[in-house]
A and B are shown apart, each in its own frame.
Chain A
Amino acid sequence: MARSSSKKPVARKKKPAARARGKGPETLLMVATRKGAWLYRGDGARRSWKVDGPHFLGHIVNHVMLDPRDGKTLLVAAKTGHLGPTLFRSTDFGRTWQESKQPPAFPKVPEGQKGRSVDHTFWLTPSTASEPNVWYAGTSPQGLFRSEDGGATWEGVTGFNDHPNITALIGGPQDGTPDGPKLHSVIVDPRDARHLYVGMSGGGVHETLDGGRSWEPMIKGMEVVEGFNLDPSNYAFHDPHCVRMCPSNPDRLYQQNHCGIYRIDRPSKEWTRIGRSMPKKVGDIGLPMVVHPRDDDTAWVFPMDGTMVWPRTSPGGFPSAYVTKNAGKTWRRLDAGMPPRDAWWTVKRQAMAADTRDPVGIYFGTTSGEVWGSRDEGERWAPIARHLPEIYAVEAAEIG
């Protein structure tokens, strides 16, 4: 790979790269694409990757997630362009799969009424260790579903899906993303499984303290698109792209929003835009957000071009991740190893992830079908896979 041009500032650290040569557990990368799922197993040094796939070739796979509580259960959210949505489950790392007996689905409404239908499951989140076998799923259109049997059967979280104000919460189809409005970023507080956050595109961020029976909006401080006199109190005008809770401090959340990068420190209910300190030429528009497993001041983003018609490609064709190590006060460019020019990448909201090693591995997948990784927290990048279909999601986990 060509190195970065001298026009772009590149900071390097020597020690983390040296530490990365050490042994460790295998790393599993779960790559979901528009045409199937692939699993990549990295050796202890995260230098060599073995491919396992495709799984469900031809299926639109929005998310693949490993259950960290047992370290072996994989769930896959899938559909095809012509068949309805379903989920598949494996407890042997994809050697065999079982289909969900009752995938997420809205209740059937009485004849003559217009009911909602799940187009696809977009997001999968295992609950906490205190709730083994409990998972949550976010769907398009926006719905929240819960499984208590490891993903075999799913029921709607009625306090959310039947919310009396649901239309105001989620807006109309025109408020959603081009391939359908989505409920995403389902976050379960590791200290209290009844405390959840969800994000919606559109619809904002919402919180429940009672396991989903009642919900409070959390949109204060989040900006809406400038110049149109839009009412920021309208939930449907808010488009959080990706919300992450810091594992080391569950009171701190970061958010990559359609309108910038934000942080919130609970119990505050007001988000602070921390992306203003990004370089002006790059801006703070993007899709994914990744947090450090042990340091709540450190988070990564992958900026996208949000000018004119919003191409959402790497600004200027110079792709780079950015990191903050002081909770958003300053950001540093991390592009060593990436193409120095003419790379018009898009990284979707679920397509960037961190492992829990030290130093942390960061991974992302592009819509042009490339998986890239860094063994040293983003200081140097190298390709892991190429020529895949359009990548929708990348997750990382340690196994073995």
Chain B
Amino acid sequence: MQVLIPSVLLSYTKAKHVEARGATLAELLADLDRQYPGIRFRMIDEQDAIRRHVRIFINGEQTFDLIHPLRPTDSLAIVQALSGG
């Protein structure tokens, strides 16, 4: 499925839209990390929590659940909740 990448992670993907696969959000993030090593840990901590300013939307709905099931037709957006200076 297509994944929208925020600007702060473009240093990994070099592209705003990338393709990744997985039956769950966790699998998709693992696939992203396989393609772009290191990208997952910038978004997900070692306790598998989505980091504080990272937001993940599946078909426009926000989720914090890494075992959220995915279908190939879903669209996924990773968003940075930018704040501060």
Using a CB–CB distance below 8 Å, which chain A residues touch chain B?
A: 80-84, 86, 99-101, 103, 105-109, 115-118
Instruction: Give chain B nearest CB distance to A275 CB in angstroms.
Output: 36
Residue of B nearest to A100 (CB): B38
Q: How many A-B residue pairs have CB under 8 A?
A: 56
B82 / chain A contacts, CB cutoff of 8 Å: 81-82
Asked whether B43 lies within 8 Å of A108 as measured between CB atoms, the reply is: no
In the complex, chain B residues 9-46 whose Cβ is within 8 Å of any chain A Cβ = 9, 37-38, 41-46
* A82/B47 contact (C-beta < 8 A), A99-B37, A101-B37, A105-B41 known: no
**Whole-angstrom CA separation of A107 from B47 in the bound complex:** 8
- Output the least CB separation between A389 and chain B (Å): 11
Please tell me if the beta carbons of A81 and B53 are within 8 angstroms of each other in the complex.
Answer: yes
The main secondary structure of chain B at its interface with chain A is: loop
Q: How far is the CB of B66 from chain A (nearest CB, A)?
A: 12
- Assess whether B51 is interfacial by the CB under 8 Å rule: yes
Contact of A82 among B41, B44, B51 (CB under 8 A): B51
Which chain B residues (34-85) contact chain A, with CB distance < 8 Å?
Answer: 37-38, 41-49, 51-54, 80-84
Report, nearest first, the 4 A-B pairs whose CB atoms are least far apart. A82-B53, A105-B46, A117-B45, A83-B42
Give 24 CB contacts A-B under 8 Å: A81-B53, A81-B82, A82-B51, A82-B54, A83-B9, A83-B51, A83-B54, A84-B41, A84-B44, A84-B51, A86-B38, A86-B41, A105-B46, A106-B46, A106-B47, A107-B46, A108-B46, A109-B47, A115-B46, A116-B47, A117-B45, A117-B46, A117-B49, A118-B45
A298, chain B: closest CB distance, angstroms: 40
Chain B interfacial positions (CB closer than 8 Å to A): 8-9, 37-38, 41-49, 51-54, 80-84
Residue in contact with A108 in the complex, picked from B48, B80, B81, B84, CB distance below 8 Å: B48
* A108, B47: Cβ atoms closer than 8 Å: yes
Q: Contact check: which of A80, A81, A86, A118 meets B46 at CB < 8 Å?
A: A118
When A99-B37, A101-B37 are in contact, do A84 and B42 touch as well, CB less than 8 Å?
A: yes
Chain B residue contacts of A100, Cβ below 8 A: 38
Chain B residues contacting A101 (CB-CB under 8 Å) are 37-38
Most chain B CB neighbours (cut-off 10 Å) among A100, A117, A118: A117
By a CB distance below 8 angstroms, the chain B residues around A83 are: 8-9, 42-43, 51, 53-54, 80
Other than A81-B84, A82-B52, A105-B41, give 18 A-B pairs with Cβ distance below 8 A.
Answer: A81-B82, A83-B9, A83-B54, A83-B80, A84-B42, A84-B44, A86-B38, A99-B37, A100-B38, A101-B38, A105-B45, A105-B46, A106-B47, A108-B46, A108-B47, A116-B47, A117-B49, A118-B45
